[in-house]
Amino acid sequence: MYLDKPTVNKYAHGNHLLDFGYNGVHQLNGIRWYAEDLALVPETYLKNIDPEKNQFGLNAALSLWFQLYHQGYLDTGYTDKSVELSFHNAREKLA
């Protein structure tokens, strides 16, 4: 999903919070999305990341996810490590 610059700036600078929309789903420009998917689903997290040369961009993004996860910022509440494993598998696919 791509947003125009004024919409991005509205949220990026912390001037507005995302609306909690219909059926508990956040909506931006009328498009439903689930914010938690950014922490839970590697494909969503990596969507539209520029892979750059030798997959550097994707590897850097995954490294950041693991750093934040191990610091406790992405505590998913899942005790079975399935989310961590799915991100590990995404990193392995890049190799």
- pLDDT, tens digit, 9 for 90 and up, residues 68-90: 999 999 888 888 899 999 999 99
pLDDT at 66 over 70: yes
**Domain, as residue range, for 2:** 1-35
Contacts of 50 (CB under 8 A, 6+ apart): 57
Which residues is 20 bridged to in the sheet?
Answer: 26
Average pLDDT over residues 50-77: 94
Length of the chain: 95
CB 63 within 8 A of CB 95: no
Token look-up 């910022």 returns 73
**45 and 91 co-located in one domain:** yes
Q: 11 near 18, Cβ under 8 Å?
A: yes
Residue 26 shares a structural domain with residue 2: yes
Reading the block at residue 34, the tokens are 């689930």
Same domain? 61 vs 82: yes
